[in-house]
C-alpha cells in the first residue's frame, strides 16, 4: 500500500510542469520552473526514503 506513494513524484513532475512553466515569480533566487524541478527532486527523495523504511522486504533477514 505504501508503494502507491511512488506515483506522487511522477504526477508532481509530469502533471505539474505545464502549470509551473513560467519564469516569474522568483523563488529563492531561482525561476519558478527551476524551483519546481528542485522541489520535485527533494519530494522524490523523501518519498523513496519513506517507502524504503516501511517496505517489509527490507526487514527480512537474508540467509
Count up the domains in the chain and report the number.
Answer: 1
pTM of the model: 0.77
**What pLDDT digit, counting tens, does each position of 17-56 carry?**
888 887 788 888 888 888 988 999 999 999 999 999 988 7
**Which residue range(s) make up the domain with 53?**
2-61
Residue 28: exposure state from Cβ atoms within 10 A (0-12, 13-18, ≥19) = exposed
Query: Could you give the C-alpha distances from 12 to 15, 40, 41, 61, 63, in angstroms and in order?
Result: 6, 7, 10, 35, 39
Report pLDDT for 49.
93
pLDDT higher than 60, residue 63 = no
The b-or-e profile of 50-61 (16+ CB within 10 A means b, else e) is eeeeeeeeeeee
Amino acid at each position: 500500500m505504501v508503494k502507491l506513494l511512488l506515483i506522487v513524484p511522477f504526477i508532481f513532475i509530469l502533471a505539474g510542469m505545464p502549470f509551473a512553466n513560467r519564469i516569474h515569480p522568483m523563488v529563492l533566487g531561482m525561476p519558478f520552473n527551476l524551483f519546481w524541478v528542485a522541489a520535485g527532486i527533494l519530494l522524490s527523495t523523501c518519498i523513496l526514503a519513506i517507502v524504503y523504511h516501511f517496505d517489509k522486504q527490507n526487514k527480512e533477514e537474508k540467509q
